[in-house]
Structure 1
Amino acid sequence: MIETLSAFHFQRPLWLLALIPAFVLVLLEYRAADAAGRWRRIIDPELLKYLLVGNGPVSRITPNAVLLVAWTLGTIAVAGPAWQREPSPFADAKPPVVVVLKVTPSMMTEDLAPTRLDRARQKLSDLLSMREGAATGLIAYSGSSHLVLPPTQDSGVVLDLAKALSPEIMPKEGDDLAKAVALAQRVLAGNGHGGSILVMADTVASDQLAGLGETRTAATTILSLLPPNLDAASIGEAARALRGTVVATTPDQADIAAIARRLDRVGRTADVAGEGQHWQEAGYWLTPLFALLALLWFRRGWVLT
């Protein structure tokens, strides 16, 4: 109870100034209706009560009194009373992720059956199923990087476009991971909700490390698409340059589970977290009382009472 009272406030307190003219008008009307007021200064009060006609008790429930109550309730409602925080619609939403997929001839190697690229698509399908409802974007890169799809919750479209990618359709051969990560950062910045970057690659060219150091971000995870018995030193160096994390490919879904936990834990921006700090207005609870008071004006002769 004490915490509720301490948290009580008005979100638009300036509207409370509308109570001033209400009380002023009621006071002026009361003085104008007091016919005996001007006689009290010249006639003894004990004698005046016997001289006045119709000076009996008057009902306090008058149109003016009801108008004052309705005005007060309406002003308080518009001022926005609040004492409870409102849960954000984004509070339980999973942060978006931009998948940076390497599409080069090396990804067609069959040491990860059927190929490294096909295994990447399978892992992407598992990730989309595990993070159902989360927005996912897709970037393909080789010697150049290209935005295939901005973050969307339609996982079917993401997977279909990923299946359509092949080294033959890439305009330039090579390994330009640095520009691909920079493009992913711009996509997330334009999205306005933060997020993470997931790189799916088998190796990283050594000339990319300097560029990756300039685009470093702790929200980057690299899924190494190499069999466990192969050296992935270039992947580790790229992760250190990005201040990211490397997850090795596993035959089961252990790698995807680890990636999903990391993606759900990081990548939220401050403004999204701040969405949970909105206050829940309680002024609408006064609406039924306001409506009941308004019904009195449909009473015959009420205004003239």
Structure 2
Amino acid sequence: MIAALAPFHFERPLWLLALIPALALWLIERRSSDMLLRWQRVIDPALLPHLIVGETRPAILSPINALMVGWLLTIIAVAGPAWQREPSPFAAAKPAVAVVLKVAPSMLTEDLAPTRLDRARQKLADILAAREGAATSLIAYAGSAHLVLPPTPDSAVVLDLAKALSPEIMPREGDDLSGALALADRVIAGTGDGGSILVMTDTAGPQATTGLSGPKAATTMLSLLPAEVEAGGLREVAQALGASLVVTTADQADVAEVARRLDRADQAASVAGEGRHWREAGYWLTPLIALLALLWFRRGWVLQ
């Protein structure tokens, strides 16, 4: 119990200064309601005790004492007592993912019906559905890398722009995977909440690994090759990046594996406490404040 209360603090401690005027008003009112203090100025102190009939001091359960307790509880509640953390309701459910999609002539090969590029779009739609609410950015690359869409939770926009991509609109042919990963790293760093990179590609030639260094963000590669084709070149690139390679399957097994790896990276990022805030416990005092307020509905209470 003591260990659990070790991080106890107030979110808005300056509100505790309101206790000073509350205590001053309580003392002033208490003195004015003291019968002995009222009559000591005009009656001899030796005779005063014999002339006072009934209670000479305010009762413990009096309006002024109840009001002071109500003030005390209200000020503490407004100051925001807290000792536990919880996920922020305004934080993203999952950190962002930068999707790096290869848009080159090789992606029009029809060994993955209808084409490798179309299959990539289908897999992307399934992955976005599995990670609903996660911010997703889209990067297209061939001989050069280009940011198509910054991180957005709107999966429909991501898919619409992915469908509009084709090798014909790319300014240069080639395989600039290193440039695409560098761009993806900058996009993830710009979110401020971390994230991961998903590379969707079919091949990675020798020129793709030129100057290639491991990205800072966790990287997963989805091989857009038929199951019977060995993804040897991609395995070497993935090993150089420290990335995980997932082979495309005819069912949803590859989608589930990619989503699991991306979610596992999300959990690692959340360990540092990102997107978490202190849970205020002041609302627990509300019932006590309400019970004290009920006393003022009692007949004759204010006149005591």
- 1:81 positional shift: 2.3
- 1:2 positional shift: 6.3
Q: Partner of 1:220 in structure 2?
A: 219
Q: How does 1:163-182 map to 2 (within 5 A)?
A: 163-182=163-182
Q: Deviations over 1:73-103 (max 9, x none)?
A: 2211122223554344378923332211111
Provide closer, same or farther for how the CA distance between residues 29 and 124 of structure 1 changes in structure 2, counting only shifts above 3 A. Answer: closer
Provide closer, same or farther for how the CA distance between residues 203 and 63 of structure 1 changes in structure 2, counting only shifts above 3 A. Answer: same
Q: Secondary structure at the match of 1:274?
A: coil
Matched, 1:89 2:85: no
Matched, 1:245 2:236: no
Q: Distance in 1 between matches of 2:245 and 2:221?
A: 5
Q: Distance in 1 between matches of 2:187 and 2:271?
A: 17
Q: Secondary structure at the match of 1:99?
A: strand
Q: Distance in 1 between matches of 2:199 and 2:145?
A: 12
Contact kept, 8 Å, 1:95 with 1:195, in 2: the verdict is yes
Number of matched residues?
301
Contact kept, 8 Å, 1:199 with 1:220, in 2: the verdict is yes
- 1:140 positional shift: 0.8
- 1:147 positional shift: 1.5
Matched, 1:105 2:105: yes
Q: Distance in 2 between matches of 1:276 and 1:134?
A: 14
Q: Distance in 1 between matches of 2:100 and 2:216?
A: 14
Q: How does 1:71-150 map to 2 (within 5 A)?
A: 71-89=71-89, 93-150=93-150
Segments of 5+ residues of structure 2 without an aligned counterpart are none
Contact kept, 8 Å, 2:33 with 2:58, in 1: the verdict is no
- 1:263 positional shift: 0.8
Q: Partner of 1:233 in structure 2?
A: 232
Q: Secondary structure at the match of 1:193?
A: coil
Segments of 5+ residues of structure 1 without an aligned counterpart are none
Q: TM-score, normalised by structure 2?
A: 0.81
Question: 1:153 is matched by which residue type in structure 2?
Answer: P
Q: Distance in 2 between matches of 1:93 and 1:277?
A: 11
Q: Distance in 1 between matches of 2:234 and 2:44?
A: 103
Mean Cα deviation higher: 204-213 or 281-290: 281-290
Q: Distance in 1 between matches of 2:118 and 2:275?
A: 40
Q: Distance in 2 between matches of 1:128 and 1:271?
A: 20
Provide closer, same or farther for how the CA distance between residues 29 and 217 of structure 1 changes in structure 2, counting only shifts above 3 A. Answer: closer
- 1:262 positional shift: 0.4
Q: Distance in 2 between matches of 1:146 and 1:82?
A: 46
- 1:169 positional shift: 0.9
Provide closer, same or farther for how the CA distance between residues 103 and 144 of structure 1 changes in structure 2, counting only shifts above 3 A. Answer: same
Q: Distance in 2 between matches of 1:249 and 1:194?
A: 26
Q: Distance in 1 between matches of 2:14 and 2:72?
A: 14
- 1:289 positional shift: 4.7
Quote the sequence identity (%): 66
Q: Distance in 1 between matches of 2:148 and 2:32?
A: 76
Q: Distance in 1 between matches of 2:270 and 2:131?
A: 22
Q: Distance in 1 between matches of 2:117 and 2:126?
A: 14
